[in-house]
Each structure stands twice: as structure tokens, then as C-alpha cells.
Amino acid sequence: MAGTELSVPSEQFTKIKAWELMPPKALEVVQEEGACRGREHLGPGNVEAQGTYGLLEAKMLEGERGLVLTTEESEKHIVTLQTVHFSSEDVQLQDVGWLTPQGREGVQGAVRQASGGEQSLLWLDDGSQQCVAISIQEDTYTLQELEVMQLHILEVSVAAASEDTKFVLEKGQGEDQPSAEGGFRAQTQEQFFLVEAKPGDEGSDEIVLTISNLNVGEQEDRPASGQGRVEKANSTNNQKKAKEAKQPFCCDSCVFTSSRISSFNRHMKTHSTEKPHMCHLCLKAFRTVTLLRNHINTHTGTRPYKCGDCVMAFVTSGELVRHRRYKHTHEKPFKCSICKYASVEASKLKRHTRSHTGERPFQCSLCSYASKDTYKLKRHMRTHSGEKPYECHVCHTRFTQSGTMKIHVLQKHSKNVPKYQCPHCATIIARKSDLRVHLRNLHTYKATEMKCRYCTAVFHERYALVQHQKTHKNEKRFKCEYCSYACKQERHMTVHIRTHTGEKPFTCVSCNKCFRQKQLLNVHFRKYHDADFIPTVYQCPKCSKSFSRWNNMQRHCAKCDAGQGKPAASGKVRRVKRRKLAILKEAGKEDAPKDATKEVSAVSVKQYPGEMVPVCYGGVAVGNKGLDEDLSCEMILQMMDK
DNA sequence: ATTAAAAGCGCCCTCTGCTGGACCTCA
DNA sequence: ATGAGGTCCAGCAGAGGGCGCTTTTAAT
């Protein structure tokens, strides 16, 4: 038998819908049902058989429907099938797998040519002892169209070779030569088939062929029903692969196929739920003793398979082989057909392939994210749950990923923190990814020119531009034409020139006082004409001394040892320190203690009668109340003296 | 029936790279 | 004071390595 070379009994092609015992009068019953009326029983002379691949040619009588291949006696078994269509994609299967050279010879080119109208394959099988593969011309058939047709016996297989069946086909009467008379021969007698064509399920485009083995009594020892040699067929599905095309036995419970009935039967046991061997430790059950033994080894830690190149040991030989490939031999049998990737395990190649196909089978139930493998989905789910399973052992900060925590520990708690030196400049960056950003931002060539803001130089690299502009930093490019004054900015020079020209273009709208700079006018106006003006004050946290400028206060804090922290701004304290000092000077109190203004910072308004002045005590604003022109300098000094 | 080999599934890990907010420096 | 730009940092996802364990298949 050429069963292993032949092929294709897959769901794409055929479905055996039923297999049943037929009464002795089966033929008559069938005839009465009208499925196969007017059959012509063909004798051996009407049948060509060639090796294991016979060509049965059945011709219908004109005006009759159905096909009949028959002999003198009727077999009790009837197998009904659905036809499906064989596309050009499957041509290769025919060429490489279906037919031996003899088979091609035998069919005389009928199934050899891919382009001449492909054949659909019918797969017939009683499920236990025999199977027959035949083909018909590819097309969608009506019953009428089946009136004249060639059926090609592609295979009759199986246990045919075993002794417990009498249904063994031979190569005709000769050894290797086609029999002139043809016909399938059992070991003891010729075999013939009755083929009936009738419509499939209502609404379907299928045709159900009923094949009857016409050898009575041959199959009596067979089971009443096959082991589900049932394969779901889809007449339009032609995606089956060549490998499967060689496997006539198809499991109805899974995708398993095999060319050998023994393998098929063994496989069917795998669907059995019987697991008589139970682990006494965890009560898990297994089909075989070996499986149980391996399992128990996982409990006991017994690892009989030791690696000769390292200290690793494993429960199973397969684990050892895999380990050696990963660690020692680096053999990677599974190679990607698209790129150079190769892997030790098939599952890894499968996972890798998704990076080419973009397939993402694992969909998040809470968002649109989909993952290419289960672990990434599980990791992603932490973003929904907020789970942070990784904790820094030093600072106990928690992280969602181990890698993030590892970097955290490395950068925050390690002594020898790795740094990344930019190859183009002196910059040292803590993280490689940030170095990449640095390189991208500063050292990448830009097509568009970047101009120096100080001169006409242009650059294509940002880093070069920045470095160049720094050369302008201390450069006093603007020189006064009247004196030796020089400055960095043009606007400064403009102001300076006014000291020579006397120009004061900014005039106060309230008192007509003129200023050289707009900024000076603004200060003047706020100070003397804006009643709502509240200057900002920074207060020393230790001694509460107030300052108008942050840097001045910092300088003070450094002296009074008030600490390094940035003091909280004391708020908008009303204050006219400069005027207060002027008053003190006027009152002859220039030598007053430096902290004389600590408690009382209010001043009188002798210079500007009628103006309300703010007052604060200990740096805390107390408002304007009670402080007006009646508050004399003397009173203030008295307060200060308290 | 038994065993070895192969296949398959699952889990965890590392390395990598990108992103955006926080923070800092500087003009 | 302010905005721009750079670095720090945690979050998150892609890709792949490695192993534990079970199941299936092939060989004996």
C-alpha cells in the first residue's frame, strides 16, 4: 500500500457521513430510494486497476443518473460521503503525494495534469479496516453531471495488509502490470464497489456519494460502526496542507491525521478519559506508568538526566536535550522563513512569527490592547489592577516590572552606578535610553541650517550650535562710541548711550518725572503712585529678617546658619524698607542696630505727605490701619526702641 | 506495554527601547 | 520671573531565552 504517500483525507476533501450495515437487499433498497436508479453493474472488465491506484471507469447509461460500480454480490457496508472541491492550490499535493508513478500511469493522465480540471478527492473509509480514496473531476456537480464520469481509485488501504481482514486489494492479476480486466482483488477474490450519487443536505452544494463494497460477508467481523472516521468537510475549504494530504485517517475529536490505522487507533486512546495511574502525593491521574513516574519525580526532585557539561539535571530526557541546545550546542532547528531567526523550540518560532504577521491573539478584556503572547497580556493587566509585585529591598518602592525595579536599585542604591559617556561630547548620562535621546537631540545631523543667534554662523548639529553660542557668552560685542563701556547686549548699550545724550524718553504720567529706562519708570510709578502696590518679601526662617530679593536672603541665611532649605515666602508683607532707612538716617539713627527694623518696619511719609504706608510687626503684615501721616518718625523710633 | 523522543503549553526572566512627567539649569 | 532645553526617572511594551511540566508520537 502506498498509503503513507497518498494522501489527503482531510476535512477539506471529504466527509463520510455515515457508515452502517446494510441489509442483504441493500442494493434494492437504494434503488427504491431513487438515489441510484438505472445502474449498470460493471463487471471486472469495466474496471481498470493499476497497482494500488486503480482507475475505475463507470459509464452511465444514457438518461440515467448516478454511478454504479458493482459486481455480482453486494457488500453489507455502505459508506456515504460528501464531495468537496479540490483547488489548484492542492495540485502540489497530487503531484507529490497522491500518486505513485504507477498511479500516474494507471490513471493515464486523468489526475496528472493540474491545469486540465482538477479532481476532487473522495475519501472512503469504514473507519476500522479499510479505506478507499477516489477522485472525480473538480467541479460542482449536479446529479445529472455525474452521469458520465471517471472515478479514480487513488488508494485502497490499510489493514488491508493485516491478516485480520480479507479486504486487501492487489495490483490486478499481474504483478506490476495493469490488469487488462482491472478490478480490485481481495486476497481471495475481486472487490467491487457500488457508488451512488445523491443530493447532500438541503441547501448545500454537496453531493453525497454512497459507496458499497459489493463483497458479501467479507466484513462480518468488523465493528458495527467505525471509530468515527468522520471528518468534517467543507466543500469550499481548500487550505489543507500537503502534509495533511498524506494522512487518510482523521480524528473526529481533534486535528490528528495519520496514514496508519495503528497510529490512528493509538491516537484515539488519547481521547479516552481513562487514567488509571494516580499520584499518591497529589492524586493527579495519568494514562501510563511512565507519565506517572515522571510526575512523581517532580515531587521528589529526582532528576535522572544530568547534563555532562554543567551541573544541571532534569526529570526528562527531553528537558536535558533542550537544555543542551540552549546552553551548550546552540543547535536551533526551528528557522524562520522570513528572517534569520532560529530557535531551539517550535513554540518560540511560532511566537516569533507573530512579530512578522502582527497576529495578537491575546486580547485584553478591559481595553483595546492585545498581546502576542500570554505573558505580555498578564503583565499588561497590571496596568489595570495597579499591582506592583516588585519591591525595592532598600527603599521599598514598588514596581510593576522587575526590570524597572532592577534599574531603580542600580541607579539609586548601587555604588558603582554605570554611566554612559556620550561619544561626541563630555556628557555623561545615567541611562542608555536617555543617552539615545541625547544623541538624537544634540548630535543628529539636521538638513535644515540652524543659525547662531549672535552671528551669522550656521550649523547642522544642535550640539555644535550650542557650543558655538557659548563662545558669545562673555563676549562684550557692543562698545560705546563715547567711552570705554562695552556690553553683551545691544539693549544695554542703547540705555548706556542715553547717559551721554541725556535722553530720558520715559515720562511718568502722574508727576512728569522722566527716566532713561522704562523699567525705572515702572518702579517709580508703582512705588509712588500705585496704592495697591505690595512688594514681595522673603523672610529668613530663623531670624525673620525680611528681604526684597531671594538671593539676598540666601546670602543672609548662609551667615545666620538658618539652613539650606528654601524658606517659605512670608507673603506679601507691606514694607518700605528703603524709605524706613531713609527716615532712620534723617532721625540721626544711622547707627541703630541692624535688627532695629525687625519689629517695626513702618515708616512715616514725611517725604510724601498723605500717602498711606504699610507696616509689619515681626515680618507679619498688620495693614495700614493707624499708620498715616500722623505716624511720625519719632513714634516709629519709639516703637523700634521697645 | 514500555520507553525515548518530540511536541506543546505555560511561566518567568532579561534586555531593550520608547514615552511622558518631574526636575534642573540656563539664558 | 520665565521659558526652553536637557536629564532623571518610572511606566510600559516588544522580543527573546530558558526551564518546568505534561502530552503525544514513534520505536522497541
pLDDT for A20: 23
| CB of A243 lies under 7 Å from some atom of strand C | no
Q: Using 50, 70 and 90 to split pLDDT, how confident is the model at A373?
A: confident
pLDDT > 60? residue A240: no
| CB of A346 lies under 7 Å from some atom of strand B | yes
Q: What is the pLDDT of residues A577-588, one digit of tens each?
A: 343 444 334 444
Of the candidates A74, A80, A64, A59, the one whose C-alpha atom is nearest the C-alpha of residue A26 is: A74
Q: What sign does the CA torsion over A436, A437, A442, A448 have?
A: positive
Q: Using 50, 70 and 90 to split pLDDT, how confident is the model at A463?
A: confident
pLDDT > 60? residue A229: no
Nucleotides of B under 7 A from a protein CB: 1-20, 27
Evaluate whether A109 touches A130 at the Cβ level (below 8 Å). Answer: no
Between the CA of A437 and the C1' of B15, what is the distance in angstroms? 18
| CB of A287 lies under 7 Å from some atom of strand C | yes
| CB of A375 lies under 7 Å from some atom of strand C | yes
d(CA A56, CA A47): 5
pLDDT > 60? residue A301: yes
Q: What is the mean pLDDT of residues A483-497?
A: 67
Determine which of A55-69, A468-482, A483-497, A522-536 has the lowest per-residue pLDDT on average: A55-69
Between the CA of A316 and the C1' of C24, what is the distance in angstroms? 15
| CB of A596 lies under 7 Å from some atom of strand B | no
| CB of A277 lies under 7 Å from some atom of strand C | no
Q: Which residue has the higher pLDDT, A417 or A614?
A: A417
Q: What is the mean pLDDT of residues A412-435?
A: 73
pLDDT for A279: 75
pLDDT for A257: 63
| CB of A324 lies under 7 Å from some atom of strand C | no
pLDDT for A159: 33
Cβ neighbour number for residue A249 with a 10 Å cutoff: 27
Between the CA of A550 and the C1' of C4, what is the distance in angstroms? 23
| Residues A183, A186, A191: CA angle, nearest 5 degrees | 45
pLDDT for A304: 82
Q: Mean pLDDT in chain A?
A: 52
Q: Using 50, 70 and 90 to split pLDDT, how confident is the model at A141?
A: very low
Q: What is the pLDDT of residues A73-123, one digit of tens each?
A: 222 222 223 223 223 333 233 322 222 222 322 222 222 222 223 233 333
Minimum CA–C1' distance nucleotide for A321: B5
Nucleotides of C under 7 A from a protein CB: 1, 5-26
pLDDT > 50? residue A517: yes
pLDDT > 80? residue A356: yes
| CB of A401 lies under 7 Å from some atom of strand B | yes
| CB of A434 lies under 7 Å from some atom of strand C | yes
Residues 413-452 of A with CB under 7 A from strand B: 432-434, 436-437
Minimum CA–C1' distance nucleotide for A279: C22
- What 3-state DSSP class applies to A566? coil
| CB of A552 lies under 7 Å from some atom of strand B | no
| CB of A341 lies under 7 Å from some atom of strand C | yes
Q: Using 50, 70 and 90 to split pLDDT, how confident is the model at A407?
A: confident
Between the CA of A320 and the C1' of B6, what is the distance in angstroms? 13
Beta strand segments in A414-559, E: 420-421, 428-429, 450-451, 458-459, 478-479, 486-487, 506-507, 514-515, 538-539, 546-547
Task: Determine which helix (DSSP H) or strand (DSSP E) holds A266, and give its type and residue range.
Answer: helix A261-270
Q: Using 50, 70 and 90 to split pLDDT, how confident is the model at A153?
A: very low
d(CA A327, CA A500): 84
Between the CA of A327 and the C1' of C26, what is the distance in angstroms? 27
Between the CA of A563 and the C1' of C16, what is the distance in angstroms? 52
Q: What is the mean pLDDT of residues A601-606?
A: 26
